[in-house]
């Protein structure tokens, strides 16, 4: 079954998108609501709360047309080595205030932390859930072993990780674990943070593993060729086709588009209602297999973050 589409609100915080205009962020939320998107993903760190604020304010503004109980707001807590687990409840309440709501639907831990025991944090999140401050708990970017171990002890119902034509690593372990344990898999960066979209220049994206010189020199011409092929055999743009392909992959429940203005989102939502033609799907399967051969096997994520297991 095809995954549903959610709106990722990272760009609203402007950390990696300094040219993002608030007016565009606001219009993107409206466009999402009016096109039937009900899932919004943000994080405490996106613009130090700015993204939570813009998203929450706009969802609240339109609550008469789109009632809050029909909307899912997911946010993510950034835990650091210095986080006292007892501060988690305060962090959750801070997000709730910024989101202009009385509860968070899905509260995820954004990243694992080397040598830090997440269990006390998850205990606090359990308590927040029982109190009604959050509805569900999720993990993001955790390695497969940690996901399995923590999900066996705590009620984890969501996992958020990257998935795109350039990054299919979750197929190996994460998605099978999610299926096994009844955890929903939410795919982020379906266009590899924009590399598979319109712009061919990767300026400002040096945080991505794909842009390391020894990888990019092979990957860049492959992506250019892929974009030409899509234009030749399909009416979809490369961005539309690449995102639709992610939505059709087995084991993926939700795909977060990072469309950051109305035009981009309208294109994505239009494509999301179609099905990928078979020859294009087969071409993408092979293209993604070739891309994965370029990537180091021991990388856990597309940002090349590393941590030591606790």
Ligand X SMILES: NC(=O)c1ccc[n+]([C@@H]2O[C@H](COP(=O)([O-])OP(=O)(O)OC[C@H]3O[C@@H](n4cnc5c(N)ncnc54)[C@H](OP(=O)(O)O)[C@@H]3O)[C@@H](O)[C@H]2O)c1
CA 15 to each of CA 12, 182, 256: distance values in angstroms, whole numbers, following the listed order: 8, 34, 18
Main-chain phi, psi angles of 135, to 5 degrees: -100, -40
Q: Does residue 58 bind ligand X (CB under 6 A)? A: no
Using CB under 6 A as the binding rule, whether residue 268 contacts ligand X is answered as yes
Cβ distance to ligand X smaller for residue 26 or 127:
26
By CB under 6 A, name the one of 49, 138, 170, 194 that touches ligand X. 194
Stretch that binds ligand X, among 27-35, 115-123, 187-195, 212-220 (CB under 6 A): 187-195
Report the C-alpha gap between 3 and 251 in whole angstroms.
9
191 near ligand X (CB under 6 A): yes
In the chain, % helix, strand, coil (3-state, to 5) comes to 45, 15, 40
Using the contact rule CB under 6 A, the part of the chain among 193-201, 213-221, 275-283, 288-296 near ligand X is: 193-201
Which one among 107, 156, 208, 256 touches ligand X, defined by CB under 6 A? 256
Closest distance of CB 281 from ligand X, Å: 19
Q: Does 264 bind ligand X (CB under 6 A)?
A: yes
Question: Which one of residues 192, 219, 223, 252 is an interface residue with ligand X (CB under 6 A)?
Answer: 192
Per the structure block, which two tokens stand in for 297? Answer: 């096997």
Distance, CA of 260 to CA of 185 (rounded, Å): 22
- Does 25 bind ligand X (CB under 6 A)? Our answer is no
Q: Does 267 bind ligand X (CB under 6 A)?
A: yes
Judged by CB under 6 A, the residue of 198, 221, 224, 279 near ligand X is: 198
Q: Should residue 193 be labelled a site residue for ligand X when binding is judged by CB under 6 A?
A: yes
Give the DSSP letter string of 192-260. Answer: TTTTTSS----TT-TTSGGGSHHHHHHHHHHHHHHHHHHHHH-SS-HHHHHHHHHHTSTT--EEEE---
Beta-carbon count within 10 A of 180 CB: 10
Give the footprint of ligand X on this chain (CB under 6 A).
8-11, 41, 110, 140-141, 160, 188-194, 197-199, 237, 239, 256-260, 264, 267-268
């Amino acid at each position: 079954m095809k995954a549903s589409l959610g709106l990722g609100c990272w760009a609203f915080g402007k950390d990696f998108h300094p040219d993002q205009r608030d007016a565009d962020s606001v219009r993107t939320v409206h466009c999402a609501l009016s096109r039937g998107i009900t899932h919004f993903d943000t994080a405490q760190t996106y613009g130090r709360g700015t993204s939570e604020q813009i998203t929450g304010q706009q969802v609240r503004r339109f609550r008469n047309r789109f009632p809050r109980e029909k909307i899912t707001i997911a946010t993510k807590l950034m835990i650091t080595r210095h986080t006292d687990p007892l501060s988690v409840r305060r962090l959750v309440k801070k997000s709730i205030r910024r989101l202009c709501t009385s509860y968070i639907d899905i509260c995820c831990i954004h990243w694992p932390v080397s040598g830090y025991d997440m269990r006390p944090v998850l205990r606090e999140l359990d308590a927040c859930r029982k109190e009604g401050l959050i509805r569900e708990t999720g993990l993001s970017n955790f390695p497969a072993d940690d996901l399995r171990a923590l999900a066996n002890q705590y009620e984890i119902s969501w996992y958020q990780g990257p998935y795109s034509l350039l990054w299919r690593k979750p197929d190996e372990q994460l998605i099978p674990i999610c299926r096994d344990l009844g955890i929903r898999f939410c795919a982020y960066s379906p266009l590899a943070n924009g590399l598979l979209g319109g712009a061919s220049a990767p300026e400002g994206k040096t945080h991505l593993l794909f842009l390391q010189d020894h990888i990019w020199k092979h990957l860049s011409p492959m992506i250019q060729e892929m974009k030409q092929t899509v234009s030749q055999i399909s009416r979809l743009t490369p961005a539309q086709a690449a995102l639709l392909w992610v939505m059709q992959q087995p084991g993926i429940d939700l795909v977060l588009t990072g469309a950051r203005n109305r035009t981009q989102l309208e294109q994505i939502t239009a494509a999301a209602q179609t099905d990928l033609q078979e020859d294009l799907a087969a071409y993408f399967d092979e293209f993604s297999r070739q891309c994965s051969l370029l990537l180091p096997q021991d990388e856990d994520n597309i940002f090349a973050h590393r941590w030591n297991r606790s």
